[in-house]
Chain A
Amino acid sequence: MERLQVFNILNHEYLSQITLRLKENTCLNGLFERLKEKEIKIKFFTCHQQRDACLGVTFCVEKSYLKPVQEILFQLCPNEEDIQIHKDAGMVAIHGPHFAEIPGIIYMMHACLSSEGITVAAISTTVSTSYFVIPAADVVRAMDTLKSVFEIPRGKV
């Protein structure tokens, strides 16, 4: 089968994933202001309003920054039930020119990972890039299977 050409494929194996349930958007603003003060890069971020009107948020940071992030979280979100943390997360991403023109790229990417039994914890898709958060231990396997479906320019991986 002919592989679909993309610009690049990205991956990260050393992340921690944080999922929050916030009752007010203003908490989100405060959280990211504090993360900015600590100069913590946000490797993955997505959020949406849920059925119960709370804001569901998932973001990833470098694993080495998890401790300061936890300190900020426990100050701003005292209800621990609203915080889920996965210490060992990874990420794969496809950066390609076709997202607006070719329906089904997300399906291809998702099916590719599912066929290997790789769990997808979160997805974020923008104009030309799709990020999938997966277990850190599965990143190498995910890259191998994505390369079987997507053609990446030589020297990009």
Chain B
Amino acid sequence: MRLLGEISDTMEKGLISGIMQRGHLEAVLVSGVADDCAVGKIFQILAHQKINLEFINQIPNQKKNKNVVLCVDRKDIASTLALLREITPEDGDRDVRYLFPAGILSLFPHRESALIISMIVQCLVDGEIPLVAVASSLSSISCVVGEDRLHDALRLLGRNFGLS
């Protein structure tokens, strides 16, 4: 875990305990998954191959289907894509899309704070860092960014968050 101490004087401080960074990941977007059964199949087939999902989020799309973003370790990406494409043929609305090499920054704690979400988004917008995906819990909030911008994102977050 890397702790950051640089604090901006110009922005209201979001106090956190620390930031953890994780690289060497690959991000995948599975779009237009029809139902829970199909989502379950994705988790099942990856679990049976002992592929650990370092990041998962699922949200409904406008067509009432489900979109899923996954991150896996780089060593697992070829088998992950092969398995996903096997169970999710690219017909109609369903689509398995490899995104890019990715990293995750996790800020601790989140504590259900709208301020922290707002500040993270602002940092990434200011740094022109594409926001790939975010997931949150009571204890942390994790952002997926392209691996090539991971250090930029870390620097920006470090500049704008204070350590409690």
Find chain B residues with CB under 8 A from A81 CB: 62
Does A6 sit within 8 A of B, measured CB to CB? no
Find chain A residues with CB under 8 A from B137 CB: 93, 95, 124-126, 128-131
**A36-B113, A49-B131 are known contacts. Are A125 and B55 too (CB-CB below 8 A)?**
yes
* Contacting residue for B135 out of A51, A107, A124, CB 8 A: A124
C-alpha gap A101/B69 in the complex (Å): 20
Q: Are B39 and A55 in contact (CB under 8 A)?
A: no
Instruction: For chain A, give the interface size range.
Output: 35 or more
* Chain B contact residue count (CB 8 A cutoff): 55
Find chain B residues with CB under 8 A from A26 CB: 121, 125
Q: Are B60 and A126 in contact (CB under 8 A)?
A: no
Q: Are A100 and B54 in contact (CB under 8 A)?
A: yes
Among A35, A48, A106, A130, the most chain B Cβ lie within 10 Å of the Cβ of A48
Within 8 A of B (CB), among A81-133: 81-82, 84, 93, 95, 100-104, 106-108, 110-111, 113-114, 119-131
Q: Residues on A close to B: CB < 8 A?
A: 10, 19, 21, 25-26, 28-29, 32-33, 35-36, 40-51, 55-58, 81-82, 84, 93, 95, 100-104, 106-108, 110-111, 113-114, 119-131
